[in-house]
Amino acid sequence: MRKSRAGMTGRTVVPASVIEREFLVEERLQKIMARASYGSRRSCETIISEGRVTVNGRVAKLGDKADPATDHIEVDGQSLGGQTQAGPDNGFIYIALNKPRGVISSLEDELEAGRTTVRDLVDVDSSHHIYPVGRLDKPSEGLVLMTNDGALAHRLTHPRYGHEKVYDVTVEGNISDLVLDQWRRGVILDGRITAPAPIELIERGADSSRLRIILREGRKRQIRRIAAGLGHPVRQLIRERIGPLTLGDLQPGQWRSLTSGEVAELKQSVTDDPASRDPLPNHPNRKKDSRAARSST
């Protein structure tokens, strides 16, 4: 059966259990460790198998899950990056970087092909063990947050918390209102419907259109894959905002430390109980909670 654009935009009902699983806070240990720059997931699995990882004082085994925001994880007797509780100025570092096109959002080039990484652009002592929060693919540009605060990074990236990310996107062609409406409502991607996304048409030309897109979920290359599937491949993608943190006037390749006010705003944005708010409003498959509905009136 031939796949078409129409098939991509059909409204398929996804079981609530699938949506609920997506918003679970716990993740497999190897995924948490890889995000904290302990190596690839495969190498992190080896570390776990060797009995070198503990969760809340118990030796972990392969397949275990944890929540770095609430569980105490140690690797070789050392707390996972960002879990120390040593005082108000506990050595955490928070950096905003304007990632240029062609730079990879990793600490090292696993292909050893001489590619520039975001870590190469930031002049911070390696002992601080900072890492990028989330990913921005190689052809994309814009705001990348780097930190060694593991608990904050986890809550900013986990889909349950639904933090907004704003993108300035130029796509090929004169995109129609019909296609924009389809995109806003959600399309099928990897067998699941995407969350509704606010999309503003900034400029429409004969051979390209410029959009501002707000996402509250983060699937792999989501914007690029949807745009291509709708017949309007991405020409340029710039991330402008992560939660309350904005790119500002940083030029490509430039970075700066966050102000204390910006750090406070980021921390405040992750202190809300995610169960008390809708992480993906108006999602057609989200489970209704009558108690939450009553409390919001």
Q: 152 CB contacts (<8 Å, ≥6 apart)?
A: 82, 92, 133, 266, 267, 270
173: CB partners within 8 A, 6+ apart: 207, 208, 209, 231, 232
190 classed as catalytic: no
Tokens encoding 133:
């929060």
Q: Identify the active-site residue in 76, 120, 137, 181.
A: 137
SS3 content of the chain, % helix, strand, coil (to 5): 25, 25, 50
What would the DSSP string read from start to end of 237-257?
EEEEEETTEE-TTPPTT-EEE
Q: Tell me how long the chain is.
A: 297
Q: Which two tokens stand for residue 284?
A: 């057609």
Residues known to be catalytic: 137
